[in-house]
Structure 1
Amino acid sequence: IEEAYGDYMATDAYANIQAVVQESLDKTRDKVVFHEGNSCPEFWEQTRIVGGINVAESILRSAVSMLDA
């Protein structure tokens, strides 16, 4: 499974998805964004493992930006 996902991550389609997600994060960097996602620990862990994205980092940066404002 890891090899197949690694192959997928090397495709143009994955690069496009990653670029769109990053663009969205960049646009909302200094804004309060409400997200209704699955907040269970398994979702966070699997997102980090499979997608290489640590959702907690974005949420913590958002919280810190509100404190700094």
Structure 2
Amino acid sequence: MVRRALLFSVTSSASYLLIATVFAIFCMAAGHNTMEMIYGGAATIVLPLVTGIEVAWLWNDRS
């Protein structure tokens, strides 16, 4: 259980850094309006959580 929690934490953090960086670069390069800013802000929170849950849930625990 601790292993899955650690896996969730690591994958969520890595996913957050990647998604936030990509969105920040896109916003600086292309600009954005208020609706895109709201979607981007929500996506940088929701997508890493979903990624962490999926990896922790589907990870084959061979200990």
TM-score range, shorter chain: 0.3 to 0.5
Higher RCO, 1 vs 2 (CA within 8 Å, ≥6 residues apart) = 2
Structure 2 length as normaliser, TM-score?
A: 0.32
Q: Identify, as 1 or 2, the structure richer in helix.
A: 2
Structure 1 length as normaliser, TM-score?
A: 0.30
